[in-house]
């Protein structure tokens, strides 16, 4: 079972959109996928119109078993554990717990039968993010085309390095740094891509094909749909389809795929 966290310490970078489309895209290809929202803003549930009886906060507190928190059949092959603003209190409520950074991994031991678990993480290096990184085997870092998002990506990689150092028995691999909202007709995108290429740490895992700027993603979210449901012929649908190809091939043809043509 693949366990992938989608993370960036900066909000507004397409993190939730990427997590949703990664999960939905894999499910469309016949995989059994669990999408988990560990962001207290609860945007996964809002975007997919999920009505949950129990949320991540209750799972983390041991107030509901994971099986009861899973909303099944959100899409064919796609199940979801939603989050809510009540999760903002988890840091305080779990302050005295032993090994509190690994609570999520322990709670999810009974979540079997999935080909992939995708985690949308919180845009901060907090308890929920540590739990997500300590559960995952791989991490994807979306980066919007602005300086603050690149700084957030660097902070995320520092957090990953800290996890590796403090918990050496739980290695996590950086799968991809993925540019989002990309429009190479603008100076901002060109400058951001140059900055990513110049950063030795980020450029090693840079998914150069990226996700182009596309208003249809906003419209799809407002309708509670994925981009393939709302606008299957859009540039965003094309880009996320290509990214799913990359994720599925990762490990065997990753070096070839990373050198895909640049964003156009």
The pLDDT of 226-252, averaged and rounded, is: 94
The pLDDT of 134-146, averaged and rounded, is: 95
What percent of the chain is modeled with pLDDT above 70?
94
More confident residue, 91 or 75: 75
Tally of domains within the chain: 1
pLDDT reported for residue 88? 73
pLDDT reported for residue 205? 94
Tokens of 52: 């949950």
pLDDT reported for residue 71? 97
Count of residues making up the chain: 264
Instruction: Examine residue 237 and state whether it is found in any structural domain, yes or no.
Output: yes
Nearest CA-CA partner of 192 in 156, 234, 152: 152
pLDDT reported for residue 262? 44
Instruction: Examine residue 263 and state whether it is found in any structural domain, yes or no.
Output: no
pLDDT reported for residue 125? 82
Q: Give the tens place of pLDDT for each residue, 153-189.
A: 999 999 899 888 988 888 899 999 999 999 999 999 9
pLDDT reported for residue 87? 63
Q: Give the tens place of pLDDT for each residue, 40-58.
A: 888 999 999 999 999 988 9
- The CATH number that applies at residue 48 is 3.40.50.300
Instruction: Examine residue 58 and state whether it is found in any structural domain, yes or no.
Output: yes
Instruction: Examine residue 264 and state whether it is found in any structural domain, yes or no.
Output: no
Residue 251's pLDDT band (boundaries 50, 70, 90)? low
Domain that holds residue 38: 2-258
pLDDT reported for residue 93? 78
Can you say whether the dihedral through the CA atoms of 243, 131, 104, 12 is positive or negative? Answer: negative
Residue 34's pLDDT band (boundaries 50, 70, 90)? very high
Helix (H) or strand (E) holding 90: helix 90-93
More confident residue, 91 or 61: 61
| DSSP for residue 100 | G
Beta bridge partner(s), residue 5: 119, 139
Mean of pLDDT over the chain? 90
The pLDDT of 25-46, averaged and rounded, is: 95
Question: What phi, psi does 210 have (nearest 5°)?
Answer: 65, -175
Instruction: Examine residue 96 and state whether it is found in any structural domain, yes or no.
Output: yes
């Amino acid at each position: 079972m693949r366990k992938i966290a989608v993370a960036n310490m900066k909000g507004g970078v397409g993190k939730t959109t990427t997590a949703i489309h990664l999960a939905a895209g894999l499910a469309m290809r016949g995989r059994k996928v669990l999408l988990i929202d560990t962001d207290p803003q609860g945007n996964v549930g809002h975007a997919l119109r999920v009505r949950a009886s129990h949320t991540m906060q209750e799972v983390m507190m041991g107030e509901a078993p994971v099986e009861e928190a899973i909303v099944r059949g959100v899409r064919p092959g796609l199940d979801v554990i939603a989050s809510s603003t009540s999760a903002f209190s988890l840091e305080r409520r779990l302050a005295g717990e032993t090994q509190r950074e690994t609570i999520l991994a322990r709670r999810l031991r009974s979540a079997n039968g999935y080909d992939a678990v995708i985690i949308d993480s919180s845009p901060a290096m907090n308890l929920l993010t540590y739990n997500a990184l300590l559960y995952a085997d791989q991490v994807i870092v979306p980066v919007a085309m602005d300086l603050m998002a690149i700084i957030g990506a660097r902070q995320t990689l520092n957090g990953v390095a800290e996890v590796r150092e403090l918990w050496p028995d739980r290695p996590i691999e950086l799968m991809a740094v993925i540019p989002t909202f990309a429009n190479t007709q603008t100076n901002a995108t060109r400058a951001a891509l140059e900055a990513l290429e110049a950063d030795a740490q980020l450029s090693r895992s840079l998914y150069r094909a990226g996700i182009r700027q596309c208003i249809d993603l906003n419209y799809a979210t407002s309708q509670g749909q994925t981009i393939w449901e709302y606008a299957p012929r859009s540039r965003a649908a094309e880009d996320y389809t290509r990214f799913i190809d990359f994720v599925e091939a990762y490990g065997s043809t990753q070096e070839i795929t990373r050198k895909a043509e640049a964003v156009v």
